[in-house]
């Protein structure tokens, strides 16, 4: 017998879990993936994903690509160990190509797969949507103001009593980049390996997947803070962890505040591209080294001025985003209650 309800009232439909994004208020992001159906905590999946990506990138894909490239270049299998030990001095380009391939398949691709395991709309989950161009421009101006602050934080961090082993390890990293720049393989390939690929791949993982999950588990403020801290430590440059954390927190903020990962990708690319151009300049100057630039002192008046301008740009970003969200908000969601 068909069941009837008085006054034509039908049973309420089961509400499907969804993520409400202020930048798409009329189109919630469904949480219908495998990890959501099994109710895994967001912060746990973020940390597990980060560990898996680190292993996949650093231990599996990049080393395999290095070996494959050496074999393709004619290195006999019996001389592989020697070739690997001398690679930094003799074939730095191979390491950089392996690093680039490793980032694409060991960082960006897993980040997408993880997002797909949470939602059938992975790009929206990762905030990979069209940016607001005004916010993107303000974010780039904010980066320009932040550079002296980051430089000063680098000096503070470098002045700490780090063990010699850590300094030697980081010096080897700088020497590898210097050797790549010395090869003069061309501006576009260098930017592709050192600026474009890291900007897209790392943002997809950190500000896309990890930050979204950290925000769900800890809230926006602590999600942004944790994302920046983890980003700083992930680069394995402890003497520069403090400035990298500051940059990571800013990238996390602009990704959240602008609602678009493309904004943080653009800022990340601009930061890396500036470093590439600066490194290329140093490579042509035998009297300079990359380490000299990191130790360059920032006068207090420049630091103070930069900090003031940076705060003004952050305020402008906040106000512009709030106004943009107000225009997107539905009638039952007044702008005063927007993030």
DSSP string, 29-87: EE--SHHHHTT--HHHHHHHHHHHHHIIIIIIIHHHHHHHHHHHTT--GGGHHHHHHTH
239: which 2 tokens? 């003497």
Q: Quote the CA–CA distance of 83 and 74 in Å, as a whole number.
A: 11
The partner residues of 18 in beta bridges, in order of sequence, read 30
Whether 133 shows a pLDDT value over 80: the answer reads yes
> Worst-scoring range by mean pLDDT, 83-97, 141-155, 197-211?
83-97
Confidence (pTM):
0.89
Predicted pLDDT of residue 286: 66
Reported residue count of the chain is 339
Whether 1 shows a pLDDT value over 70: the answer reads no
- Report residue 70's pLDDT band, with 50, 70 and 90 as the boundaries: confident
**Averaged pLDDT, 44-60:** 95
**Averaged pLDDT, 145-161:** 91
Predicted pLDDT of residue 115: 97
Supply the DSSP symbol for 120. S
**Averaged pLDDT, 313-327:** 93
**Averaged pLDDT, 151-162:** 89
- Report residue 338's pLDDT band, with 50, 70 and 90 as the boundaries: low
**Averaged pLDDT, 106-131:** 96
Predicted pLDDT of residue 131: 95
Q: Quote the CA–CA distance of 170 and 294 in Å, as a whole number.
A: 12
Closest CA to 231 of 259, 258, 250: 250
Question: Which of helix, strand or coil describes residue 266?
Answer: helix
Q: Quote the CA–CA distance of 326 and 335 in Å, as a whole number.
A: 5
**Averaged pLDDT, 235-242:** 88
> Worst-scoring range by mean pLDDT, 190-194, 280-284, 285-289?
285-289
Range with top average pLDDT, 84-88, 186-190, 217-221 = 217-221
> Worst-scoring range by mean pLDDT, 42-46, 115-119, 272-276?
272-276
The more confident residue out of 283 and 19 is 19
Spell 288-298 as b/e; 16+ CB within 10 A means b.
Answer: ebbeeebeeeb
Closest CA to 228 of 173, 146, 167: 146
The tens digit of pLDDT for each residue in 26-44 reads 899 999 999 999 999 999 9
């Amino acid at each position: 017998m068909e069941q009837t309800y008085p006054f034509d009232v039908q049973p309420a439909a089961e509400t499907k879990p969804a993520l409400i994004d202020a930048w798409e208020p009329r189109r919630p992001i469904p949480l219908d993936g495998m990890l959501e159906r099994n109710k895994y905590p967001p912060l746990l999946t973020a940390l597990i994903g980060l560990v898996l990506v680190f292993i996949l990138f650093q231990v599996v894909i990049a080393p395999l690509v290095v070996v494959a490239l050496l074999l393709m270049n004619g290195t006999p299998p019996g001389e592989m160990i020697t070739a690997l030990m001398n690679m930094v001095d003799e074939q730095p380009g191979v390491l950089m190509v392996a690093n680039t391939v490793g980032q694409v398949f060991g960082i960006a691709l897993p980040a997408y797969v993880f997002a797909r395991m949470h939602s059938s709309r992975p790009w929206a989950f990762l905030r990979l949507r069209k940016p607001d161009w005004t916010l993107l421009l303000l974010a780039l101006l904010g980066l320009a103001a932040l550079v002296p602050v980051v430089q000063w934080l680098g000096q503070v961090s470098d002045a700490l009593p780090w063990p010699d082993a850590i300094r030697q390890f980081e010096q080897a990293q700088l020497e590898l980049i210097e050797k790549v720049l010395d090869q003069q393989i061309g501006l576009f390939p260098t930017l592709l390996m050192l600026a474009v690929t890291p900007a897209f791949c790392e943002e997809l993982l950190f500000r896309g997947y990890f930050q979204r999950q950290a925000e769900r588990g800890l809230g926006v403020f602590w999600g942004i803070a944790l994302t920046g801290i983890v980003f700083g430590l992930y680069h394995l440059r402890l003497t520069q962890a403090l400035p990298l954390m500051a940059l990571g927190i800013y990238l996390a903020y602009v990704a959240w505040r602008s609602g678009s990962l493309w904004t943080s990708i653009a800022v990340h690319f601009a930061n890396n591209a500036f470093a590439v151009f600066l490194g290329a300049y140093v490579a042509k100057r035998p009297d300079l080294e990359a380490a000299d630039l990191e130790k360059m002192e920032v006068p207090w008046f420049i630091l103070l001025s930069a900090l003031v301008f940076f705060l003004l740009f952050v305020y402008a970003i906040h106000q512009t985003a709030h106004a943009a969200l107000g225009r997107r908000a539905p009638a039952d969601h007044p702008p005063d209650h927007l993030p």
